[in-house]
Chains A and B, each alone.
Chain A
Amino acid sequence: MEYTTLILLLPFLGFILLGLLGTRLRPGVAGAIGTIVTGVVAILCYWTAFEYFGAGRDASGVYPVMIPWNTVWLPFGGSLHIDLGIMLDPISVMMLIVISTVSLMVHIYSFGYMKGERGFQRYYSFLSLFTMSMLGLVLATNIFQMYIFWELVGVSSYLLIGFYYTRKEAVAASKKAFIVTRFADLGFLIGILIYGFYTGSFSFTPDAPLMGTAKMLLPVALGLMFIGGAGKSAMFPLHIWLPDAMEGPTPVSALIHAATMVVAGVYLVARMFPLFIGYAPEVLHITAYVGAFTALYAAVVACVQSDIKRVLAFSTISQIGFMIVALGVCTSSDPHEGGLGYMASMFHLFTHAMFKALLFLGAGCIIHAVHSNEMSAMGGLRKYMPVTHITFLVACLSIAGIWPLSGFFSKDEILAACFNFSPWMGWVMTAIAGLTAFYMFRLYYCIFWGKENTELHTEHRPHEAPLSMTLPLVFLAAVTLVAGWIPFGEFVSSNGQAYHIHIDWTVAGTSLCVAALGIAIATWMYLREDRTVADGLADRFSGLHKAAYHRFYIDEIYQFITHKIIFACISTPIAWFDRHIVDGFMNLLAIVTNKVSWAIRQMQSGYIQRYSIWFLGGALGLAIILLLV
């Protein structure tokens, strides 16, 4: 299957070509090149998946790991070296499908959305760069290759968030995104260093069972790697960059900040899952608690945001929390014995990618129509944009977990896994699922129902998006409708064996009831034109409402740390110290030398009589010394 190298090579060449030619290409041509390249890559990915799963299981009942291509890129001496290669296994193939599908949809969608934007060519070249990096990340044969592409997706995200680089907010957001994830990557890097040193290789599975120090330090290494994953996947308290990242173009948010890059952390944990289970189950459970807290936090915040993209961003954070929880609650690698969460997590990753991309693209259509992100500019849009309305509703139902949409199936598996772990965790996650239903329908009603902003809408009449934008919506909605019926456990499971998904109707029933309750409350509060209930609640709990609206002031804390502590208390004093103490010491040396030479120079007065006194005195002195000696 050597052709899989093309999956990486083609987008890279696309990036180089578009980047070098830049504005010399007409925008349409550049977009076409990018889209065709991505289309070819998508076909290759589907073909790879078809061939890989078509080849069937090996004798031990698992899909074999295939490495069609691998080469040493940079040796570090000893047994350590960074390899570049391509590794196919069930989760990487699954990710190939997710990435290439969403990427292709976004490429097509952007034709309409970005039409007439300055820097259209640049946009497509960055999209190609991102696609290449993300595919490289999931295809990595070793942890260091993953880190390489991890950094590359980070930078593509930086470039794309800062696409509108003349806007101050976009620049600040891109900077924030990069630096926060970089900070987290520091943990990742140190984790890799520990891992590499003690296991003697960077591969995902050590060659021999670990003993002694290696075994002792592996949990530390895995924990540090999870910090890196938490940074990319926006886990609390490293989530602060993701809401700001919504400054980027909306299709970018759909691709990077909803469907693919932000799940890299989940993918990382899944990739290291055998090690987590084997050597560090307690670290895995810590990730579950982090994930659960993040899910709760983000869901609460999402309930009160007024910017539709921010609501979606917090919803993304919350959903990624679900995936992390699902991985974290695993207690063994057997899907029948506490390993269910692995499959559930990957399943949710898959379905979430589709419906969240759909939500973002839908939001893009809405923003395209009303030229604002704020809910106040919307309301009653259902009659203007029927396609967007229906597809958005499908996605909302799916994320709320309503049968028979895809979200129901994957969320049900997650909840089942949580109940297996502890009832406490199960109930918390069920409650968050209810909250999810509530805030998604709040969003839905505020956009498509409720009071219309007639003033704005008569001035500029909202309209349905062009075909290039609605086509991806329809496609993704179709996927969302049917994806739940995919026998996902047949392809992906924690130990690779086939697993038959069976719905636990007590769990499913509970979650359905809770979701329905959430929807009902949202309907009651937001369907009507007057929102007395919602406003009344906001007034009654104004402190909580305000805190949640300001995202519990986490950003301000960060602001304080970076500006007041790092800049004001570390950098400025160091710079001062350098200029005045270190450099001052050097200048002092020079000044002292100058002063001494000045003092010596004063003896050369130029007065001949003073010289003769010195001369006589000297002669006398010498004479006396000679006489005495």
Chain B
Amino acid sequence: MNILSLFPAIPVLMMLGLWLSRNLKQIHAVMVTGASALLALAIALVFMYLGARADGQAAAMQFTDSHIWYKPLNIHYAVGVDGISTAMLLLSAVIVFTGTFASWKMTDGAKEFFMWFCLLSVGVFGFFISLDLFTMFMFYEVALIPMYLLIGVWGTGRKEYSAMKLTLMLMGGSALILIGILGIYFGSGATTMNILEIAALHNIPLEMQRIWFPIVFIGFGVLGALFPFHTWSPDGHASAPTAVSMLHAGVLMKLGGYGCFRIAMFLLPDAAQELSWIFIILTTISVVYGAFSACVQTDLKYINAYSSVSHCGLVLFAILMMNTTAATGAVLQMLSHGLMTALFFALIGMIYGRTHTRDIRELSGLMRIMPFLSVCYVIAGLANLGLPGLSGFVAEMTIFNGAFMENDTFHRTVTVIACTSIVITAVYILRLIGKILYGTCTNPEHLKLTDATWDERLAVSVLIVAVAGLGLFPLWMSDMISESVLPVISHILN
């Protein structure tokens, strides 16, 4: 069996184990075993991938495997990874691992919750390893459906509304993707749905590309929080339970960026070059708009959701610049944003679990009450505003440098506009930190609250170590990614 197939297989086994388990202890045992196995597997994969590259394996995709499963449409279960997907798998594994610990205190319907959670991760892992358009789409859907139940059943606040909105908007996106995929398949005249083979054929007529590119890009863009299709994100994240927010903002939103890059731009390169300017404008709006919106929000999760709109906008912005540096930056930003935002959502969940409010006007002086969580919150905030030594800086600087390499007035202007987001980010992050962590606590109820427990400390520490690791030693990750981005970009530019 191919090593990559283990990624979706382990969560399936976990679901089986959860189904058999009888009490919370067994559930936790299954989850911890499975999540640790996934994390170990992802780390092992990174080393195996780097090893294969060091051995001179030059093929774009490594560890490939292919089995046909639907003959009439030539649908294969085709898997393979390059540096980008390896990085994404590592991110997903880290977040599944920490998400497990972040939802340690889940007791109502824990079994079902974790089963859906595992199904979600099946979809996520499957998406990143797939090379076949249809299989990829199938895993994409597998990742989306559990969201509805996870938010609708275990969420907070207006959960039914949010779950419905999120699911419907993302379903709308996936309908576009499906149309686009079929368009690509039939337009290319290929006898396979394998991405690499379709790309190698490279014979979709330009007129058709012009139709399919916007469709696929918007389809994935909905998940990547592209303005103006981002409004599911604030409501959805605000209502979702902690682990689901983490996985959703941390990994699922990256499916959007990944899909835009791997499918929309890679398979429809001519239209991508021709039409990129429209989407560059939209993403620039996303970047600034999200940041400004975050400045006046009062709900912790809304602030983070709008901040995600801004940061994910930067991902799409960077891949549309169509050069290796910016695209490397985009992948780094996906990683960095995934880790940071998961960290944020974990911390918000922990604070909410204690204070039962996320309204920043009702919170103050938490630093004295829960120092560990507060310090971690400050670190997450500093990472978010791009402090050197933490991951955000590495990603943003790579993106800005890459974007600046496009030497014409339009690209220069949007780059400068996008750069201003770093200032606005500082404004809302510091406002938030100043309001909720500093000062003196005004609510006597909050004085009794306790600091993080061991499971929370573990989840948060793992994420912080990852954020700092990526920020302090970006070289190996950046090399691994840029070496895989290069063939994609050169294919797009011919």
Contact = CB atoms under 8 A, between A and B. Distances in A.
- In the complex they form, whether A and B have CB atoms below 8 Å apart is answered with yes
B393 interface: yes
A168 B393 CA distance: 29
A179 B434 CA distance: 13
Contacts of B361: none
Given A151-B387, A166-B439, A78 B325 contact: yes
Contact of A166 (B387, B431, B440, B475): B440
Contacts of B438: 162, 165-166, 171
Given A171-B439, A570-B292, A183 B168 contact: no
Interface string B421-450: 011001100110010011110000000000
Interface residues of B, number: 58
Nearest to B407: A197
A178 interface: yes
Nearest to A170: B438
A402 interface: no
Q: Interface size class for chain A? A: 35 or more
A165 B365 CA distance: 9
B201 interface: no
* Chain A interface helix/strand/loop/mixed: helix
Contact of A152 (B168, B389, B397, B439): B389
Contacts of B121: none
A74 B474 contact: yes
Contacts of A21: none
A145 to B, nearest CB: 9
A575 interface: yes
Nearest to A583: B231
A77 B394 contact: no
B430 A82 contact: no
A574 B295 CA distance: 10
Contacts of B394: 74
A190 B419 contact: yes
A193 B295 CA distance: 27
A571 B34 CA distance: 44
Contacts of A171: 434, 438-439
A408 B296 CA distance: 51
Contacts of B387: 151-152, 155
Given A74-B394, A175-B434, A182 B422 contact: yes
A172 interface: yes
A75 B388 contact: no
B430 A178 contact: yes
Interface stretch (B93-101, B106-114, B398-406): B398-406
B479 A75 contact: yes
B263 interface: no
A127 B150 CA distance: 46
B430 A76 contact: no
Interface string A68-111: 00001111111010100000000000000000000000000000
Contact of A76 (B235, B293, B398): B398
Contact of A149 (B168, B386, B388, B426): B388
B341 interface: no
A582 to B, nearest CB: 5
Interface in A558-576: 566-567, 570-572, 574-575
A197 B385 CA distance: 24
Interface in B107-159: none
A189 interface: yes
A350 B168 CA distance: 65
Nearest to A19: B375
Contacts of A623: none
B293 A574 contact: yes
Contacts of A152: 387-389
B289 interface: yes
B386 to A, nearest CB: 8
B228 interface: yes
Contacts of A174: 430, 434
A121 to B, nearest CB: 12
B169 interface: yes
B325 A72 contact: no
Contact of A151 (B367, B388, B420): B388
Interface string A178-206: 11001100100110011011000000000
Interface string A539-582: 00000000000000000000000000011001110110010001
Contacts of A168: 439
A479 to B, nearest CB: 32
A627 interface: no
B328 interface: yes
Contacts of A572: 296
A361 to B, nearest CB: 27
Which of A196, A578, A585 gathers most chain B CB within 10 Å? A578
Contacts of B232: 586
Given A75-B478, A76-B401, A152-B388, A575 B439 contact: no
Contacts of B426: 178-179, 182
Nearest to A196: B401
A478 interface: no
A586 B166 CA distance: 11
Contacts of A186: 419-420, 422-423
A148 B227 CA distance: 31
Contacts of B422: 182, 186, 189
Contacts of B292: 570-571, 574-575
Which of B235, B434, B482 gathers most chain A CB within 10 Å? B434
A165 B388 CA distance: 23
Interface in A56-78: 72-78
A179 B419 contact: no
A190 B397 CA distance: 11
Contact of A578 (B231, B388, B437, B482): B231
B297 interface: yes
A55 interface: no
A599 interface: no
Contact of A77 (B228, B324, B386, B434): B324
A621 B386 CA distance: 71
A189 B400 contact: yes
A151 B393 contact: yes
A583 B309 CA distance: 14
Contact of B482 (A77, A197, A567, A582): A77
Which of A78, A80, A571, A585 gathers most chain B CB within 10 Å? A571
Nearest to A197: B404
Nearest to A570: B292
Given A151-B387, A178-B430, A571 B296 contact: yes
A41 B405 CA distance: 40
Contacts of A566: 295, 427
A590 interface: yes
B169 to A, nearest CB: 7
A78 B293 contact: no
A80 B400 CA distance: 13
Interface in B457-491: 474-475, 478-479, 482
Given A166-B440, A570-B292, A75 B475 contact: yes
B41 interface: no
A182 B405 contact: no
Nearest to B398: A76
Given A190-B419, A578-B289, A586-B231, 7 more contacts: A75-B475, A151-B393, A172-B434, A175-B430, A193-B400, A570-B292, A590-B168
Q: Which 10 A-B pairs have the closest CB atoms?
A: A583-B231, A148-B388, A165-B438, A571-B295, A77-B325, A193-B404, A571-B296, A171-B438, A182-B426, A175-B430
Interface of A: 72-78, 80, 82, 144, 147-149, 151-152, 155, 158, 162, 165-166, 168, 171-172, 174-175, 178-179, 182-183, 186, 189-190, 193-194, 196-197, 566-567, 570-572, 574-575, 578, 582-583, 585-586, 590
25 contacts: A74-B394, A74-B475, A75-B475, A75-B478, A76-B325, A76-B398, A77-B323, A77-B324, A77-B402, A78-B325, A144-B397, A149-B388, A151-B393, A166-B438, A182-B423, A193-B415, A197-B405, A567-B296, A570-B292, A571-B293, A574-B292, A575-B295, A575-B297, A586-B232, A590-B165
